[in-house]
Amino acid sequence: MAKEKKQPRPKAETPKGFRDYFGTEVTERAEMLRKIAGVYHLYGFEALESSAVETVEALGKFLPDVDRPNEGVFAWQEDEGDWLALRYDLTAPLARVYAQHRNDLPTPYRRYAMGPVWRNEKPGPGRFRQFYQCDADTVGAPSVAADAEICAMLADTLEQVGIPRGDYIVRVNNRKVLNGVLEVMGLDEGAQRDAVLRTIDKFDKVGESGVRELLGKGRLDASGAYIDGVGLSDDQAGPVLAFLTSKAETAARTLDNLRAAVGESAIGLEGVQELETIADLLEAQGYGPDRIVIDPSVVRGLGYYTGPVFEAELTFEILDEKGRKRQFGSVAGGGRYDDLVKRFTGQAVPATGVSIGVDRLLAALREKGRIGGTVEGPVVVTVMDRDRMADYQHMVGELRRAGIRAEVYLGNPKNFGNQMKYADRRGAPIAVIEGGDEKERGVIQIKDLILGAQMAENATLEEWKERPSQFEVPRAQLVEKVRKILDGQGQ
């Protein structure tokens, strides 16, 4: 009789492109989301939590460089034939929600949403297939006052979470201005127009000279490979380069340069006028160029946005993996997308919004040293007698009712040293000890683990005697003494 083959054990490993988040990281993210939600709420936005799963049809095709509707997303087919997918952002679901419930929602509808999104793309360093987004959108407001408000709120949000003024800039542009430039060039439709758009999108990477080469005959990239150009003459490429390089020292001069770039184009001049209105509204609220600027080099989401676009960039320097200095870069972006709801209703519905990349913003705060320190664990009540568990649970209950984070050691209490090792691994600030002798005398031992660790590193014997880290106090003073020690550690 053949021996039955054992089933192989499953591998205990995270799927490629995903990762696990533990206590400190989860706590830091939750605190950031709380602060962001506070700013959004202050501005009058209401929370929305929509389904993580949408139909592929509802999600539409808005991911870049994707040919099939369900490419780039995690999709599956139901038995009845419908294709479903995990959401790849929080904006496409908003369009579906508004179209479905518009008769019951106020207009404009102002909502914020926070949560994970999923993209079935090739993972890389710092690039995961699941990540958090934090969005705020206004649906049903055609005025660019809604766009200006989003920019102001974005600046306030960055400062609220710990990015000081001077370490960020919110840059604003308008897709209509770019459309005007293309109109002046005579590139309303066609493959050449799309090639120009893709080239414009590379401005941040290759600069003015690189874009000039790519609009013309082509250029060598960093690897030495030759990239074919669009084939425009210098005269044809002129309006694009004038557009991309029109940023000046003041908003007024930038707007003048943009007017020159769009010439007589009606749509282009409309875009410049909208930018001027946004600049005036922001200035009236006290948002100067140290926080928000008109910047024509912002060309995000070329196929997605229909009007103003904006991007929040962190301007401080960090060291990359090779030790080279570079700016941290973008952590948020958004703009006006007036055609998204129209897919469902057949009627144009104006909308504008912003999305914050939570993981990148957390990484930025860690770079600045504003988060990432040790997180204080719970007070640990040790167990000296397993038959007296009710006494120890009573202690923990007192501490928790006083608002103090605490837990009873629930492992094997036989080895007291292991209990202290556990408290150390948990980052516990205090250990509470009550053996049989302490119980009889009505006292407890309270050990300041933070002070004890500091003294163990460099204290002399005399300092140990002058500044003890363990105290014997009456049992009735448990909460009072623990709180006093915690307050001292905080100082």
Could you tell me which residues are annotated as the binding site?
89-91, 119, 133, 137, 300, 304-305
Among 479, 477, 489, 417, smallest CA distance to 448 is for 489
Which residues are within 8 A (CB) of 1 and not within 5 positions of it... i.e. 6 or more apart? none
CB contact at 8 A, 177 and 243: yes
If you write DSSP's letter for every residue of 419-468 in order, what string do you get?
HHHHHHHTT-SEEEE--HHHHHHTEEEEEEHHHHHHHHHH--HHHHHHS-
Rounded distance between C-alpha atoms, residue 194 and residue 77, angstroms: 33
Tell me the one-letter amino acid at 26.
V
Rounded distance between C-alpha atoms, residue 139 and residue 134, angstroms: 16
Q: Radius of gyration over alpha carbons of the chain, in Å?
A: 29
Would you tell me how many other CB atoms lie within 10 Å of the CB of residue 346? 8
Which residue ranges make up the annotated binding site for L-histidine?
89-91, 119, 133, 137, 300, 304-305
Please give the DSSP secondary-structure letter assigned to residue 127: B
Residue given tokens 């999108």 in the structure block: 201
CB contact at 8 A, 159 and 143: no
Q: H/E/C letters for each residue in 44-62?
A: CCEECCCCCEEEHHHHCCC
Provide the strand spans (E) within 257-307.
292-294
Tokens encoding 232: 């425009």
Among 387, 412, 354, 372, smallest CA distance to 43 is for 354
Q: How many residues does the chain have?
A: 491
Please give the DSSP secondary-structure letter assigned to residue 360: H
C-alpha distance from residue 125 to each of 120, 122, 182, 358 (Å): 15, 10, 36, 17
Tell me the one-letter amino acid at 299.
V
Tell me the one-letter amino acid at 163.
I
CB contact at 8 A, 358 and 157: no
CB contact at 8 A, 307 and 341: no
